[in-house]
Amino acid sequence: MAVDHVKRAFKYRFYPTDAQAAELSRTFGCVRKVYNLALAARTEAWARQERVNYNQTSAMLTAWTKTEELAFLNDVSSVPLQQTLRHLQSAFTHFFAKRAKYPRFKSRKTSRKSAEYTTSGFRFRDGRLTLAKMADPLDIVWSRPLPEGAKPSTVTVSQDAAGRWFVSLLCNDPSVRPLPTTDAVVGVDVGLDHLLTLSTGEKITNPRHERRDRARLARAQRELSRKARGEGTNRAKARRKVSRVHARIADRRRDHLHKLTTRLVRENQTLVIEDLTVRNMFKNHPLARAISDASWSEFRSLLEYEAAWYGREVIAVDRFFPSSKLCSACGTLQENMPLGVRTWTCDSCGTAHDRDVNAAKNLLAAGLAASVCGAGVRPQRSSPGGQSAVKQKTPRREP
């Protein structure tokens, strides 16, 4: 699959001056205010069985800026305010298409602080980025270079819960091209003891990032719980300390997953994974924390978009396919396979299996068969007895 002119976001940390931080904080507040006002107006119209589109909310914004109560909206750049209306329109589009829930109001404490600028709201020259309403460029730490000759089409400024400032530049990246084709294919089984088990027999250790920092996180959370609730400075400092621990865990996890997915995509033409419903798996409370730390959903997301960039194929096998209970040598389906069983021997052919490696091999075989036939896979409903457990069915839409 050819990929031309891939738009890629390059994210960098920056250190604003006091004046820039104050201006950006005002912008974040105004963005949140406009979003909530527009959502309230559209919700009221929805209750009357009417629809309000982006153009109408844009006209509302113009009227709001002329009122005495909302005159402060004129103090910040109008570009991020218009962009937040476009984001709201996109949220409603996904809602009407039944791809997402009804949009929610933004909270001052919990919602992400961000503002998006289009080309009319910033100037980028000679590696220096200056935003509207600011006299000086941002002090950006260029941890990696932008593509040669790149011109950002949008710039998103954000501040995370740990107080760190980031700027994301969306550019065309001509360096992203399909990799040379290869005959290598691999099945990937995710787990907790080992993060990934490949059909080649390789097992990749689960780093358990959250467990490594669990004591530090618990200590910070205890300190936060002792602080009086309210807007006090001490509680804000304690909350930021907890956020820094969470940010450290998330950064290390994301870095590890990026390296894994990049390696898998570069080495293999086709990758077969299991279509897991991770959200439902969180209902298993004893394992929920470990499942969240493994971040299987993020792994799949990274794998799929990197495969699309580089001309690779990712196949998701139906979640009901019995990859663990099926003998990869003869196709016999075992009746029971408790989670505690890590190795087992097939009753029919006598082949000894490692549970995870066997599952990865079965996923690979089922995924390749489904790819050739253009169908999904699910378990055979008949009782075991040497019969194959792979059955073709009509393809269904992905959730």
Mark whether 356 is an active-site residue: yes
Domain assignment present for 163: yes
- Would you say residue 54 lies in a domain? yes
What does the pLDDT read at residue 204? 94
Residues in the chain with pLDDT values less than 50: 1-3, 375-399
Residue 391 counted as domain residue? no
Contacts with 211 (C-beta within 8 Å, 6 or more apart), sequence order: 293
Question: Does any domain span residue 20?
Answer: yes
Has residue 93 been placed in a domain? Answer: yes
Is there a domain that residue 374 lies in?
A: no
Residue 150: per-residue pLDDT: 86
Give pLDDT, residue 4. 57
pLDDT value, residue 398: 37
Residue 60: per-residue pLDDT: 96
Decide if 139 is catalytic.
no
Given the residues 23, 116, 210, 274, the one annotated as active site: 274
User: The tokens 């995710």 sit on which residue?
Assistant: 190
Taking Cα atoms as reference points, which of 206, 233, 226, 227 lies closest to residue 296? 206
State which residues form the domain around 152: 6-173
Amino acid 51 reads: R
How many angstroms separate the CA atoms of 220 and 215, rounded?
9
E strands, the chain, are 6-14, 113-118, 122-125, 128-131, 140-141, 154-159, 165-173, 185-190, 194-198, 203-205, 270-274, 313-317, 343-345, 352-354, 376-379, 390-393
Cα-based distances in Å from 335 to 322, 347, 360, 389, 394: 10, 11, 19, 12, 26
Q: Is residue 225 part of a domain?
A: no
Please count the structural domains in the chain.
Answer: 1
- CA 348 distance to own-chain centroid: 43
pLDDT at 391: 35
Query: Per residue in 109-145, pLDDT tens?
Result: 889 999 999 999 999 998 899 999 999 999 999 999 9
Specify if 118 maps to a domain.
yes
Catalytic residue among 189, 210, 293, 306: 189
- pTM for the predicted model, two decimal places: 0.83
Q: Name the pairing type of β-strands 6-14 and 165-173.
A: antiparallel
Segment 135-160, tens digit of pLDDT = 999 999 999 999 888 899 999 999 99
